[in-house]
Amino acid sequence: MTALPGSSQTLPATICTPRAQAAKNADSIRVLPTVREKLAGARLEVQGLEQKLSLSQGQLYDARADIRGLKTDNAGLKEMVLATKAEADGWHIKARRRGWGIGIGIGLPLTYGGYKLFRALR
């Protein structure tokens, strides 16, 4: 057996007669159109898969762009929420101060007036 150069396969070391070689060639020539058709089909299949891959990659790039946009929108919304929360905290403090002011401004005179009325009716 002899090894093919650059291959691990071995071939039998038989020498074909011209008639046997011609038969092999004829078989090869008969099979050649079928092999060509299979090869053409495989090439078309590869082209189809490459097209699908390029479409999938395009969708992936679009999805990544959408995600980047959503992250940007999310960051903007986060800033708005923080600003709104800070503003709400400020209003809460102001309302508490006003509440004390209103409570003292109204409650104290009412209490004093009620006390005077109670004393007058006694």
* pTM of the shown model: 0.35
Secondary structure (DSSP) of 77-117 = HHHHHHHHHHHHHHHHHHHHHHHHHHIIIIIHHHHHHHHHH
Structure tokens at 56: 């999938």
Query: Cα angle vertex 37, ends 34, 38, to 5°?
Result: 85
Quick: pLDDT tens for 73-114: 777 788 888 888 888 888 777 777 777 777 777 777 888 888
Q: How far apart are CA 9 and CA 3, in angstroms?
A: 6
pLDDT, residue 38, reads 85
pLDDT of residue 27: 76
5 confidence band (pLDDT: 50, 70, 90): low
Q: What would the pLDDT profile of 21-51 be if each residue is shown by its tens digit?
A: 777 777 777 777 888 888 888 888 888 888 8
**Average pLDDT over all residues of the chain:** 77
Task: Give the Cα separation of 101 and 84 in Å (integer).
Answer: 25
